[in-house]
Amino acid sequence: MSKRLIKITIEYDGTGYVGWQVQPNGPTVQEEVEKALKMLTDEDIRVRSASRTDSGVHALGQVATFYTESSIPAEKFAHAITSRLPKDIAVRSSEEAPDGFDPRHGAKRKLYRYRIATGPIRPALERRYLWHVKWPVDTEEMIKAAAYFTGTHNFTSFSNQECNTEDSDNTRTIDRSELIVTGDRITYEIEGRSFLYNMVRNITGTLVDVGLGNLKAGDIPAIFEAKDRQKAGQGAPACGLCLMWIKYE
């Protein structure tokens, strides 16, 4: 039987995983999906994802592909894989992908959402999905700071990548950067085609440092200019971050 390329959309609670990609130091989402595919098809299938989410980061709409010789109808994979996965991972949908479809390089836009709980007391409900910031934050100043990230910039100061020799490599275009405040909850949403390593967490941590008064919204242009990770704010913890969706052509 000829091989088909299947595209799947995956939701996971990253709390119990050391990230998407297979590695020796703990369970990963990729290996759980590949184990489920082995159970289902008896094939040794390698799954390729759009984004290698870090340890503890969540996804509502991660996208991945795999080749299979199985005769299972493409749209039946979602339920069949999910029933073989642990409760913190689910395949939301599955379909046959056109030949040459690449989940990573073909992505046109992604939305990441970062959720923060403010106030002196840590949250108990939904604590796995929130960063608790216990000191008061100036949300007006944070909203102003968030607006600076829209557009095309060199994001070297917001990346933990070690090889930052060529500036052009660290230029990214952000289509939307918005902070939404609802009571003691803050949601930060950022949309773009691609992101540097740790970029969303470093931007979010910088926004919180602006909220705490450690930085000012007006400092953001100089931080871009510096191309120096040390000039930006702290990195936000993984638990608040979720990859919401990825769009293709």
Between helix 199-211 and helix 139-147 the angle, nearest 10°, is 140
| CB 60 to its own copies: min, Å | 6
Residue 61 CA: distances (Å) to CA of 11, 51, 91, 215: 6, 10, 9, 33
The span from the CA of 249 to the CA of 102, in Å, is 11
Total residues contacting its own copies (rule CB under 8 A)? 25
CA distance 206 to 23: 29
76 is a contact residue toward its own copies (CB under 8 A): no
Cα 70 to chain centroid, rounded: 30
Angle CA(198)–CA(204)–CA(210) in degrees, nearest 5?
A: 135
Residue among 151, 149, 148, 160 at smallest CA distance from 228: 160
Residue with Cβ nearer its own copies (18 or 226): 18
Choosing from 13, 54, 138, 167, the catalytic residue is 54
Q: Binding segment for its own copies among 36-44, 120-128, 153-161, 189-197 (CB under 8 A)?
A: 120-128
Whichever of 123 and 235 has its CB closer to its own copies, that residue is 123
Closest distance of CB 127 from its own copies, Å = 6
Query: Which one, of 165, 163, 192, lies nearest residue 177 by Cα?
Result: 192
- Angle, alpha carbons 207-209-113 (nearest 5°): 30
The answer to whether the beta carbons of residues 61 and 244 sit under 8 Å apart is yes
Active site residue 138: no
- Per-residue contact string for residues 213-242; x = within reach of its own copies by CB under 8 A: -----------------------------x
Cβ-based nearer residue to its own copies, 12 or 114: 12
Q: Does 78 bind its own copies (CB under 8 A)?
A: yes
Pick the stretch among 6-14, 42-50, 191-199, 209-217 that binds its own copies (CB under 8 A). 6-14
Q: Does 133 bind its own copies (CB under 8 A)?
A: no
| Ramachandran class of 183: left when φ > 0, alpha when ψ lies in -120 to 50, beta otherwise | left
Which of 10-18, 39-47, 188-196, 220-228 is the region at the interface with its own copies (rule: CB under 8 A)? 10-18
Candidates 82, 154, 156, 170: give the one binding its own copies (CB under 8 A).
Answer: 82
* Cβ distance to its own copies smaller for residue 83 or 214: 83
Q: What residue ranges bind its own copies (CB under 8 A)?
A: 11-13, 58, 60, 78-79, 82, 87-93, 120-127, 129, 242
For the annotated catalytic residues, the residue numbers are 54
